[in-house]
Every structure is written in structure tokens, then in C-alpha cells.
């Protein structure tokens, strides 16, 4: 049997391969670029490109591609072969440093939010040497950043790298003050990915799944997730085979797939990798999503990554486990055993608390999509209100710090910074709350609002940037302090006092929490239309610009792209519903009603005294529903037609939220009611029962 250790990373141009294939001088120079971001000179690039090409050809590759992440949310690639004609009619295989470092794809067909005039169709892709190149399906993939002719970011990688740099810069200022010896700081992420698997033959029979990735109609089956028998349940053989195959494919690409299990809903599952540097985690998560779908098809399955494939059934999210650590391997969110580690931990903890409070709206909107709107606040995922869970112990510590009072949880411990040790935080006390959007889990924060199909980049861009901003403000104060110990102490105390409203250790699903949150002045931005415009609020724009994450025009363009995406997504759903209602549902309801009406006539002819109670009632009911569906179709069609009349994207997205989506809900309600009374064979597409329990 093949051993995992033998094939893990076999398709990756990783450190092992670099060391083996490059001269020592070239290797060292490349390492300086990877580790310290030093520019790469062209002779080094040529040598690296040559080695990459030889390695890739050896592995059967014929093409290379600059792989990038435009604002569409999926990755993009254009394949070029290595061939180059030789004078005698043969070809030789070539790949230069220039081709490795820079590509010039036509950018005009990617969303730019007005950043790129059509006459400047050219865009650039630039090699990101911090994320390894890899081979997939006979092509060498080179992870790249994508920007416009004028240098504006057109992707999700450029701002992510900028945010990591901003965090590094500000965190280093603090570490320097504390006398730490690290030379750089990086954020790391482990994203837990949820998904559904359904049989391909059923998927193929549903226009909504094919066109929108979710069911737009469907009555709830008699059994859902109420028995709580699926979460961590034993994995069915067909799913287990899929998971094994998926692991293998991911491992070949050096992706650290670690954990797999069944999730809450029937046919829902989760995969979690071991955490790694944020930009690599983002690349790996994109690849993981793509490979999940591809491998499913090989097993006659379809992998649904939509946030809410089934109404009334648990949706799918992505938990973004985030921490910051130094190049010396110290986790800055880990409460230490020594007093100086406590101070460091508390400063970074305060930076996160302040960041999450001040930039709640940025965090909320970083995960906003039409799909994720169905989850957040729907009594299964975290609410749309952002809050932080710290756990009782840490909360107790903060309360005593706030009051300058002794901490009672640990005997004899006077919470005086620099002179005492924090109580050891047991993981089980910090990990219990599953309802919190942003939970401290021992030595990391788990941001749980991300949707399953989201790129993790947006969330981490805003999180890194907001924390960098807290650290900047802290460093400005501390660098001027005469008495550092005292100033740190006051800073921590004042930060708790000012930002404790964001801390909530209770049940986030509780109705009363939403009211309480409102009292505390926390924002509750329910939909994409509500939150996305906030990206351009002065407070947010100033901060993002200050740290060099975005320029002003990039910010506006991103808001517009995201809103446009929201409008288009819902519009496609509305059109799909109209089509299904007109060509499948109404005809089915009508024929079933007609069939029953004929039955009444036939039965009465045969047996004049027959009551025909069932048939009569069902004909009555279905005739009514048919009319309601028909009216709902007209109303939805009218709303959909009006959508095209808006010039302003903000007004248009408001219309989607206030008019279009409610019209879709109406249509669905009547249709689902009809589904629940007509015979299963007469329903025109597979029901929830089949989809959810079909594997």
C-alpha cells in the first residue's frame, strides 16, 4: 500500500524540491524573498523558472498557468504550454523567469467595479513566491496576485498580503517595546469547511440546484435533523470512499487535510485542515473547494458548497480559526506561564477586542453574500450581531482588571500585571459556546460567520487590518510612555472599560440577546444590502487606507462589486423560480387537481352516493393554491422586471432585499404547500426527503 508520507506534497514545488533542484546561492536568494519579502532579481527568477519547468515536465506537465483569485469568488486560470518552436520543425520546452514573475491576462472580463476602463483591458498577474507552485491536471499552477494596469488590486490576494504586512508592522512595534526578539509576525488560519453531498442523478433533475446551487422550492421532509443522529455519526461507505479519495488528492497538493466528520444536517459533512499562514490557507481553501466538487463527481455525487442548500435544514459555514504568531514560533494569543507573557497576551487580546468592537461592521460585511444572508441569524448559525465570547475564566480576569480588583478565580493571585501569572485557561471552558460569532478558543479566535462558499480572504483582510489599527493606536501610546508598566496597565483597563459591550458569553441564538445587543449599541446588519454600503463609511475607509490595504477607489469598487454580485445572484434565483413555477410546478399542480376532479366525476357515475370527500377537498385546495401560485408568479415577474430600471446599485440592492426576496418567499410558500398535499409521483422534481437521505 502507498504510504501518505511517500506521496504527501508530491505535486508541490516545495522547499524540499527547491533545495534539491536549485544551487545553494539561488536557493538562499529565493528563501530571502519568501521569508523576508526581499525583491527577486531576474537571474534568480530565470533559474527558478527553469527548475520549475524541468520538475513539472518530469511530472508530466505540458502547460503552466498564473492562478489568481479575481473578485468573482472563484479562481481563474489561463493555460499556456511550455512549447517553443525550434528551427528544424521540432519544439523545445521553455519557461523564463519573466513568464514566472509576470503575466498579462486580459482583465476586461473580470469584475473591476469601475476600476478599469475598457480601453485599459490589460491586467497583471504577479507571482506570489510565498505560496508554493503545484501541478494539477498536467498544468503547473503558479499562485499569483492580480492587479490592473494602474496597479489597483483586482483580486483577493493583493489586499490579503497587504493586511498581513500591516499587522506585521504594527505588531512588531509592540513586540519591540516589550523586548521580544522576533523579527516578524504572521497571522495563521485553519478554516473548517462544511459541505453537503447529494446524488448526482437527483441533482440533475433540479433546475434550481444546477443554476443556483440551492433549492428554491421544497417542503420539509418528516425527518430532518431533530434526532441529532447525524453529527459525528458513523460515515456511510459511499461518503467514506469520497472522503478518502478527497484526502488523497489534497495531500498530493500539500494541503494538510486533517479532520473529517458528519455535520448536523443529514448528508452534511465537514473537513478541516491543519492551520497555516493566512495567504497559503486562503489558496489552499480555494483549491480544497474546487477539488471537493471535482472528486464528488467521480463518485456520482455533487458537493454543494452553498450556505443554505435546503430551507429549514442547517446551513453550511466555514469557521475561520485565526491566531498571530512570531517567527520564533510564539503564539501571541496564547496565555503564557510567565508574567511577561501575560502582558503580551493581554495586549494582543485587547487589540482584538477593540478591533472587533470598532470594526464590527467590517467583519460582518466581510462575510456578506446573498447565500450567507440565509444563515446568519437564522437560529443555527451565529446571529448577524457580532460579539466576542471569552469564556468564564478569561472574563473573570478581565473583570478584575477592569476594576483593579483581585481576581478571585485563583487563590492568592492579585492581578497586577508584570508581577503575577494568569490562571491556566482550560480549553473546555473556552470552547463550549457554539453560538458565538467570534469565540476565543484557548489560543486562537474562531470567527464563525463565514459562509461555506466564501473565500476566507475578505474576512482575514478586515480582521488583520482592524487588529493592526488597534496595535497602531496602542503602540502610539506606549512608545511615548515614561512608565511602561503603568501605561500598559492603564491601557488594558481602559480598553476593557471602553469595549466590554462587545463581550457576550451567553446564548447567541436567544431572542433576548438581540434586544440586549441593541441596547449595547451593537449593530445588527441583517443582509448584504444593509451592511455592504458601510464599507465606504469614513471610519472604515480611513482605517483601510491608513494601513495601505486599499485605496479609496479600490474600496468603492469592492462595495459595488459585492452589491452587484448580490443583485445578480438573487436575480438569477428569481428567474429560476419563475421558470420552475411556470413550466414544472403549475402544470403539475393543475394536472393533479384535474385528475382528482375527473375521479370525482367517474366515481359519482359509478356510485352516485359516493361522497368523494378527499378528492373534492384536494381539488378545492389545489385550485386555490394554483391561483395563489399564479398570482405570486405575476408579482415576482413584475418585481424582477423593475429590477432592471435602477441606475444606483445601493437602491437596487435595497429593492432586492425589500421587494424581490419577499416576492420569492411568497411564491415558495404556496408552492411548498402544494407539494405537501399532492402525490409524490406527481411532483416534478426530487423532494427534500430524497435529496437529504439519498446517499
User: At its nearest, how many Å lie between ligand ADP and the CB of residue 188?
Assistant: 5
274 binds, among Mg ion, ligand ADP, none (CB under 5 to 8 A by kind): ligand ADP
User: In the complex with ligand ADP, which residue's Cβ is closer, 103 or 315?
Assistant: 315
331 binds, among Mg ion, ligand ADP, none (CB under 5 to 8 A by kind): ligand ADP
State the nearest-atom distance from the C-beta of 431 to Mg ion, in Å: 8
Three-state DSSP state, 99: helix
| 382 in contact with ligand ADP (CB under 6 A) | no
From Mg ion, ligand ADP, none, interface partner of 213 (C-beta below 5 to 8 A by class): none
CB-based burial label for 609 (10 Å; 0-12, 13-18, 19+): exposed
Count of CB atoms situated within 10 Å of the CB of 529 = 26
Tell me, rounded to whole angstroms, the distance of Cα 540 from its chain centroid.
21
The span from the CA of 74 to the CA of 123, in Å, is 17
The CB-of-271 to ligand ADP minimum distance in angstroms stands at 10
Contact 93, 53 (CB under 8 A): yes
63 touching Mg ion, by CB under 5 A: no
Non-local (6+) Cβ contacts of 110 within 8 A are 70, 71, 72, 76, 123, 146, 154
**683 contacts ligand ADP (rule: CB under 6 A):** no
Residue 422: half-sphere exposure toward Cβ, Cα within 13 Å: 25
Candidates 453, 686, 655; CA nearest to 570 is: 655
* Shortest-Cβ-distance residue relative to ligand ADP: 190
Alpha-carbon 15 to chain mean position: 28
Q: How far does CA 296 lie from the centroid of its chain?
A: 20
Identify what 214 binds: ligand ADP, Mg ion, none; CB under 5 to 8 Å per kind. none
Q: Least distance (Å) from ligand ADP to the CB of residue 448? A: 9
> Which one of residues 275, 345, 670, 685 is an interface residue with ligand ADP (CB under 6 A)?
275
Q: Classify 136 as helix, strand or coil.
A: strand
Q: Which of 319, 558, 559, 657 binds Mg ion (CB under 5 A)?
A: 319
Q: Report if residue 326 touches ligand ADP, rule: CB under 6 A.
A: no
What are the cell numbers at 114?
A: 469601475
Among 130, 331, 505, 616, binds ligand ADP (CB under 6 A): 331
Cβ closest to Mg ion, residue 214 vs residue 319: 319
C-alpha cell recorded at residue 353: 477586542
How far, CA to CA in Å, does 458 sit from each of 290, 593, 682? 18, 50, 45
Q: What sign results for the dihedral spanned by CA atoms 191, 311, 209, 635?
A: negative
Residue 487 as a binder of ligand ADP (CB under 6 A): the answer is no
Residue placing its CB nearer to ligand ADP in the complex, 105 or 190: 190
Residues near 228 by beta carbon (within 8 Å), at least 6 away in sequence: 264
272 binds, among ligand ADP, Mg ion, none (CB under 5 to 8 A by kind): ligand ADP
Distance CA 462, CA 368 (A): 13
3-class state of residue 426 by DSSP: coil
- Please tell me whether residue 186 binds ligand ADP under the rule CB under 6 A: no
Of 191 and 254, which has the nearer Cβ to Mg ion?
A: 191
Q: Whose Cβ is closer to ligand ADP: residue 74's or residue 274's?
A: 274
Beta bridge partners, 196, equal 268, 304
Q: For the chain, what's the residue count?
A: 695
Report d(CA 674, CA 101) in Å as an integer: 59
Q: Which of 319, 246, 325 is nearest to 287 (CA)?
A: 246
Q: Cα separation of 672 and 138, whole Å?
A: 46
Q: Residue 272 interacts with ligand ADP (CB under 6 A)?
A: yes
CB 333 within 8 A of CB 349: yes
Residue number, 30 or 456, with CB nearest to ligand ADP: 456
Q: Considering only 138-146, 198-206, 318-326, 341-349, which stretch makes contact with Mg ion by CB under 5 A?
A: 318-326
Q: Which listed option, ligand ADP, Mg ion, none, makes contact with residue 444 (CB within 5 to 8 Å by class)?
A: ligand ADP
Q: Residue 143 binds which entry of Mg ion, ligand ADP, none, with Cβ cut-offs from 5 to 8 Å by kind?
A: none
Interaction of residue 190 with ligand ADP, rule CB under 6 A? yes
Residue 614: how many CA atoms within 13 Å on its side-chain side? 7
Shortest Å distance, C-beta 431 to ligand ADP: 6
Q: Which stretch binds ligand ADP (CB under 6 A): 189-197, 372-380, 522-530, 608-616?
A: 189-197
193 belongs to the binding site for ligand ADP (CB under 6 A): no
Q: Is 194 a binder of ligand ADP (CB under 6 A)?
A: no
Which residue's Cβ lies closest to Mg ion? 319
Residue among 243 and 562 whose Cβ is closer to ligand ADP: 243
By CB under 6 A, residue 130 contacts ligand ADP: no
Residues 253/10, Cβ–Cβ less than 8 Å: no
Query: By rule CB under 6 A, what string of x and - marks binding of each residue 27-66 to ligand ADP?
Result: ----------------------------------------
Q: Could you tell me how many residues of this chain bind Mg ion (CB under 5 A)?
A: 1
- Helix residue ranges, H only, 607-660: 613-643, 649-655
Q: What are the residues facing 124 on neighbouring strands?
A: 147
Please identify, among the stretches 41-49, 277-285, 312-320, 505-513, the one whose residues bind Mg ion according to the rule CB under 5 A: 312-320
Q: How far is the CB of 260 from ligand ADP (least distance, A)?
A: 11
- Of 431-460, binders to ligand ADP (CB under 6 A) are 443-444
Helices 552-580, 538-546: axis angle to 10 degrees equals 120
Smallest distance, Å, CB 394 to Mg ion?
Answer: 18
Binding residues for ligand ADP (CB under 6 A) = 188-190, 192, 259, 272-275, 321-323, 331, 443-444
Q: Which residues bind Mg ion (CB under 5 A)?
A: 319
Amino acid at each position: 500500500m502507498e504510504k501518505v508520507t511517500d506521496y504527501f506534497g508530491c505535486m508541490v514545488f516545495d522547499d524540499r524540491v527547491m533545495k534539491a533542484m536549485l544551487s545553494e546561492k539561488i536557493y538562499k536568494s529565493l528563501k530571502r524573498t519568501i521569508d523576508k519579502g526581499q525583491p527577486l532579481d531576474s537571474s534568480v527568477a530565470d533559474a527558478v523558472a527553469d527548475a520549475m519547468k524541468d520538475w513539472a515536465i518530469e511530472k508530466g506537465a505540458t502547460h503552466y498557468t498564473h492562478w489568481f483569485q479575481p473578485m468573482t469568488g472563484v479562481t481563474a486560470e489561463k493555460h499556456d504550454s511550455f512549447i517553443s518552436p525550434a528551427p528544424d520543425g521540432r519544439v523545445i520546452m521553455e519557461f523564463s523567469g519573466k513568464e514566472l514573475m509576470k503575466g498579462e491576462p486580459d482583465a476586461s472580463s473580470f469584475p473591476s467595479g469601475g476600476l478599469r476602463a475598457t480601453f485599459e483591458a490589460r491586467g497583471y498577474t504577479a507571482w506570489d513566491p510565498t505560496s508554493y507552485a503545484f501541478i494539477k491536471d498536467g498544468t503547473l499552477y503558479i499562485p499569483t496576485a492580480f492587479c490592473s494596469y494602474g496597479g489597483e488590486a483586482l483580486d483577493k490576494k493583493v489586499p490579503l498580503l497587504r493586511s498581513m504586512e500591516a499587522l506585521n508592522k504594527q505588531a512588531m512595534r509592540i513586540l519591540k517595546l516589550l523586548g521580544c526578539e522576533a523579527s516578524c509576525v504572521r497571522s495563521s488560519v485553519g478554516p473548517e469547511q462544511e459541505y453537503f453531498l447529494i446524488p448526482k442523478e437527483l441533482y440533475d433533475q433540479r433546475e434550481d440546484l444546477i443554476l443556483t446551487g440551492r433549492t428554491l422550492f421544497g417542503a420539509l421532509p418528516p425527518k430532518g435533523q431533530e434526532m441529532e443522529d447525524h453529527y459525528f455519526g458513523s460515515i456511510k461507505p459511499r461518503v467514506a470512499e469520497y472522503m478518502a479519495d478527497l484526502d488523497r488528492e489534497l495531500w498530493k497538493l500539500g494541503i494538510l487535510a486533517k479532520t473529517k466528520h458528519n455535520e448536523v444536517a443529514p448528508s452534511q459533512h465537514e473537513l478541516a485542515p491543519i492551520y497555516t499562514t493566512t495567504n497559503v490557507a486562503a489558496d489552499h481553501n480555494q483549491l480544497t473547494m474546487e477539488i471537493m466538487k471535482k472528486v464528488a463527481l467521480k463518485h456520482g455525487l455533487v458537493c454543494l458548497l452553498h450556505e443554505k442548500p435546503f430551507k429549514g435544514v442547517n446551513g453550511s459555514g466555514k469557521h475561520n480559526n485565526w491566531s498571530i504568531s512570531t517567527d520564533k514560533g510564539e503564539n501571541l494569543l496564547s496565555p503564557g506561564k510567565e508574567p511577561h507573557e501575560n502582558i503580551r497576551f493581554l495586549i494582543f487580546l485587547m487589540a482584538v477586542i477593540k478591533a472587533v468592537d470598532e470594526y464590527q461592521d467590517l467583519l460582518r460585511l466581510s462575510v456578506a453574500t446573498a447565500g450567507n444572508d440565509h444563515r446568519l441569524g437564522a437560529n443555527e448559525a451565529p446571529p448577524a450581531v457580532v460579539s466576542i465570547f471569552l469564556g468564564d475564566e478569561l472574563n473573570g480576569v478581565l473583570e478584575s482588571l477592569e476594576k483593579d480588583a483581585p481576581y478571585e478565580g485563583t487563590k492568592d493571585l492579585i492581578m497586577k500585571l508584570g508581577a503575577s501569572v494568569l490562571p491556566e485557561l482550560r480549553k473546555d471552558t473556552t470552547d463550549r459556546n457554539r453560538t458565538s460569532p467570534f469565540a476565543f478558543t484557548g489560543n486562537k479566535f474562531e470567527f464563525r460567520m463565514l459562509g461555506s462558499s466564501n473565500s476566507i480572504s475578505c474576512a482575514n483582510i478586515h480582521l488583520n487590518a482592524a487588529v493592526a489599527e488597534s496595535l497602531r493606536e496602542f503602540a502610539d501610546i506606549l512608545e511615548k510612555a515614561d512608565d511602561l508598566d503603568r501605561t500598559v496597565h492603564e491601557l488594558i483597563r481602559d480598553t476593557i472599560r471602553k469595549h466590554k459591550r462587545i463581550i457576550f458569553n451567553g446564548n447567541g441564538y436567544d431572542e433576548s440577546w438581540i434586544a440586549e445587543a441593541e441596547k449595547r449599541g451593537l449593530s445588527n446588519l441583517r443582509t448584504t444590502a444593509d451592511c455592504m454600503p458601510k464599507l465606504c463609511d469614513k471610519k472604515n475607509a480611513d482605517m483601510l487606507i491608513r494601513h495601505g490595504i486599499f485605496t479609496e477607489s479600490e474600496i468603492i469598487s469592492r462595495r459595488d462589486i459585492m452589491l452587484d454580485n448580490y443583485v445578480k445572484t438573487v436575480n438569477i434565483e428569481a428567474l429560476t423560480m419563475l421558470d420552475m413555477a411556470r413550466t414544472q410546478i403549475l402544470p403539475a399542480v393543475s394536472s393533479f387537481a384535474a385528475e382528482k376532479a375527473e375521479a370525482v366525476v367517474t366515481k359519482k357515475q359509478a356510485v352516485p352516493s359516493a361522497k368523494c370527500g378527499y378528492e373534492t377537498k384536494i381539488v378545492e385546495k389545489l385550485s386555490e393554491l394554483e391561483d395563489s401560485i399564479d398570482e405570486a408568479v405575476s408579482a415576482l415577474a413584475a418585481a424582477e422586471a423593475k429590477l432592471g430600471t435602477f441606475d444606483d446599485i445601493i437602491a437596487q440592492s435595497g429593492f432586492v432585499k425589500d421587494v424581490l426576496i419577499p416576492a420569492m418567499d411568497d411564491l415558495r410558500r404556496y408552492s411548498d404547500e402544494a407539494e405537501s398535499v399532492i402525490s409524490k409521483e406527481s411532483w416534478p422534481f426530487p423532494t427534500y426527503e430524497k435529496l437529504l437521505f439519498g446517499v
